[in-house]
Copies of this chain bind each other. A is one copy, B any other.
Amino acid sequence: MLNHAAVDRVFHALGDPTRRLILERLSRGPASVSALAKPLDITLAAVVQHLQVLEQSGIVRTEKIGRVRSCHVRPDGLRVAERWIAERRAIWERRFDRLGEILGEPQHGSPTGRKNKS
């Protein structure tokens, strides 16, 4: 069972386009707050706020080395969102297949790799 608050935090974090751009930048490697701010053309304060949301959701971690705060992605941080989506899609596809059976229609090949006996 997924933790409801964790699901809320991660989807809130991913729901903002600027935060997703920060994640794209961090996909190429760790970066400082000012390096993140530059291409986004937003204030350092705004970047810090976005980073706080990303940290609280567990997708990013930051560490202060000397006077510079370095930001990194956490690969496991996306797992909550991944599971929530996969669980919903599994439920929806089961419903969809059952509906097909009820209507007597042939089943489509599934993108999740389920095999149909033919």
Q: Chain A residues in contact with chain B, CB under 8 A? A: 7-8, 11-12, 14-17, 20, 23, 27, 29, 73-76, 78-79, 81-82, 85-86, 88-89, 91-93, 95-96, 111
Contact = CB atoms under 8 A, between A and B. Distances in A.
A89 B85 contact: no
Q: For chain A, what secondary structure do more than half of its interface residues adopt (helix, strand, loop), or is it mixed? A: helix
A95 B26 CA distance: 11
Nearest to A76: B111
User: Top 10 closest A-B pairs, CB basis?
Assistant: A15-B15, A75-B92, A75-B93, A73-B92, A27-B91, A78-B89, A11-B14, A78-B85, A82-B85, A11-B15
A11 B20 contact: yes
A64 B68 CA distance: 57
